[in-house]
Structure 1
Amino acid sequence: MDIRPIRTEADYKATLKTVSPYFDQEPAPGTEDADRFEVLLALIQSYESKNHPIDPPDAIEAIKFRMEQQGLSAKDLEPFIGQLNRVYEVLNHKRPLTLRMIRRIHKGLGIPAEVLIQTENDDKFSLAA
């Protein structure tokens, strides 16, 4: 098994090309090809996390996505955010999420707290409970 670290973008592209056939026909577990595939995927993942990080989604977009997934309306967010006018203010980026809202949304909708805590403009963020 001739496997080397991925150090450059050229190495990265070559490794992606190497593993591409494995996605079409995944090797049987326990075979040398399966081991090779697993090691190459780990190298790719490591390189991507360092060189191509994916930023977490915007908190409000994550809420809207969850609403769409669960077929929720703005009215359904009242238990988490407050009165309907406040819900609309939050959804339209007119009002920041408070710590209390973040806790309720995290618990009620299962959106990771890390996603809800990040903000576009930290001076607008409110830690009011």
Structure 2
Amino acid sequence: MSIKPIKTESDNKAALERIEQLWDAQPNTEEGDELDVLVTLVQAFEEIHYPISAPNPVEAIRFRMEQAGLDDTDLVPYLGQRSRVSEVLNYKRRLSIGMIRKLNEGLKIPLESLIRDYQLAR
């Protein structure tokens, strides 16, 4: 096993190709250990070079709706009347503290996503 740091895109590409070759390696074998190390190195490289920003509150709500198979009317207990749900989902109204609490407690949407700043539609 010859592993080196991933410093460039070509290093990353080579590591990904090797990971693909090792994908079915058994744990606690030389190949399994190599796979674990390469995955860790690729993950570290990609976190630095391809950061993924957290979703804004509306994106987080829509993602949770998709996960749970919810539609707009299912949000009424958390956001209020249907018109308010529509306003929030269409970036016309900001979430209130009460809405944030209800969404976090009821739908388990992380507070970090719900309190992020975002632009309203004009």
User: What band does the TM-score fall into relative to the shorter chain?
Assistant: 0.7 to 0.9
Aligned to 1:12: 12
Rounded to whole Å, the distance in 2 between the matches of 1:109 and 1:46 is: 31
**Runs of 4 or more off by more than 4 Å in structure 1?**
none
How far is 1:19 from its partner? Answer: 1.0
Identity %, equivalent residues = 47
Matches of 1:110 and 1:33 in 2, distance apart?
39
Deviation at 1:27, TM superposition (A): 0.8
What amino acid maps onto 2:100 in structure 1?
I
Using the size of structure 2 for normalisation, the TM-score is 0.87
Unaligned runs of 5+ in 1: 125-129
Unaligned runs of 5+ residues in structure 2 are none
Could you tell me how far 1:15 is from its partner in structure 2?
Answer: 0.9
Report how far residue 62 of structure 1 moved: 2.4
CA distance in structure 2 between the partners assigned to 1:107 and 1:58 by the alignment: 18
- 2:36 matched residue in structure 1: 38
RMSD (CA atoms): 1.6
Deviations 1:37-60 (A, max 9, x none): 000000011111111111223321
Letter in 2 for 1:116: L
| SS at 2:31 equivalent | helix
Alpha-carbon distance in 1 for matches of 2:76, 2:44:
41
Alpha-carbon distance in 2 for matches of 1:57, 1:87: 18
Letter in 2 for 1:52: Y
- The number of residue pairs the alignment matches comes to 120
Which of 47, 62, 65 is equivalent to 1:64? 62
